[in-house]
Structure 1
């Protein structure tokens, strides 16, 4: 199980909050602000897309590295935006975010069958050794099959939910009034996130994974699968 770069919980929460603001709130505010002053839906959406791409570029400059998944997301964003510019298709541009959501869902699903389920990778900096969770997740991963299963199950759940979210976004983009889609997409993002976080935390409590003193961890040593 690969360990991400060390950061404090407060710093991680702040960074994630800023990313949400840049990826969701700013483009949304820009879209409706431009629509209020009479800008066409197509141009307003392009402006929001430009903000999203700029945010991604800034994030990449700070990281100074591009992984395969990040490169694929960027390629998808640039391609879909380019097609929209050529075709002038408002509906396609509205659905652009759905493709990234679908890709993320696929990534979560695939990762569930590796040594680095994405839910585990993203949760580790916040939970390892905190809030009732055990420390040294590398050792626990090797010793406790249930621990590995918990993260694989939650990664599969996130993957399936995000793919379903993708389908809903495409449906909304091609059937609902144009001006209602950005706000509804943002609401869908919030709802999907809340449901998944709630499910995961209930699951962790029910299984005992979130309580290092529970019988969940009282298993004989076994090699990693």
Structure 2
């Protein structure tokens, strides 16, 4: 029987391609359609369907969805009918902000769950790969209170950052020129993610995450 640890882990190249498809391609499609004379609303709607298409392809291939992928697809499918009823380009522009805000709330709620969201998100990327002595994260979770605290705090950091990002996106959607918002929204993603990586990287070092995963915390001190 195949165990979760034996499942293929996402590579950096695969993650980058996923980001390009979900973020960069819809933006390129939007500006391409606008240059061809398509209306703002139709151009935004066309780009909005791409993440849902990615999720549909994943489901057809694996008959399963990651939690976040299902969440994004569900929000997308609910948002499009509302946008069609309202007929408002501003509503579609603000969609990413509302989506990010709901995701931020979801992160914060998961802090009190059995295991927070960032634990599940970070595990495929870090477990056994970076400063690791091979100890399973399941073992560390059960054995080390500090390990559990680190992932709950870092999940809170992500949740708050996503709420701030969401607020900025909604303000931009309703206050800036329509054709300026998609490009600025795309630029905001790397800025937010870079800041999160820096803040979390510093926190992990200070809180001792790598000492725990490398086994240094379990070794008796010399002397």
TM-score (norm 2): 0.86
- For the 8 Å contact 1:133–1:209, the answer to whether it is kept is no
Q: CA deviation at 1:32?
A: 0.7
Structure 1 counterpart of 2:115: 116
Tell me, what secondary structure is at the counterpart of 1:122?
Answer: helix
- Residue 18 (structure 2) pairs with residue 23 (structure 1): no
Q: CA deviation at 1:127?
A: 1.6
- For the 8 Å contact 1:4–1:125, the answer to whether it is kept is no
- For the 8 Å contact 2:75–2:99, the answer to whether it is kept is yes
The answer for unaligned runs of 5 or more in structure 2 is: none
Question: Which stretch of structure 1 is more off in the superposition, 185-194 or 101-110?
Answer: 101-110
The count of residues paired between Structure 1 and Structure 2 equals 215
Tell me, what secondary structure is at the counterpart of 1:131?
Answer: coil
- Residue 163 (structure 2) pairs with residue 163 (structure 1): yes
Which deviations, in whole Å up to 9, do the C-alpha atoms of 1:106-158 show, x marking residues without a partner? 22112221222111111112222332134211111111111100000000110
Q: Where do 1:1-225 residues align within 5 Å?
A: 6-8=6-8, 11-66=10-65, 71-134=70-133, 135-211=135-211, 212-215=214-217, 217=218
Q: State the alpha-carbon separation in 2 of the partners of residues 60 and 8 from structure 1.
A: 17
Question: Which stretch of structure 1 is more off in the superposition, 15-24 or 184-193?
Answer: 15-24
Q: CA deviation at 1:214?
A: 4.3
Alpha-carbon distance change, 61 to 98 in structure 1, aligned in 2, over 3 angstroms: farther
Alpha-carbon distance change, 95 to 5 in structure 1, aligned in 2, over 3 angstroms: farther
Q: CA deviation at 1:82?
A: 0.9
TM-score (norm 1): 0.86
Which deviations, in whole Å up to 9, do the C-alpha atoms of 1:38-83 show, x marking residues without a partner? 2221111111112222122112223313577655543321222112
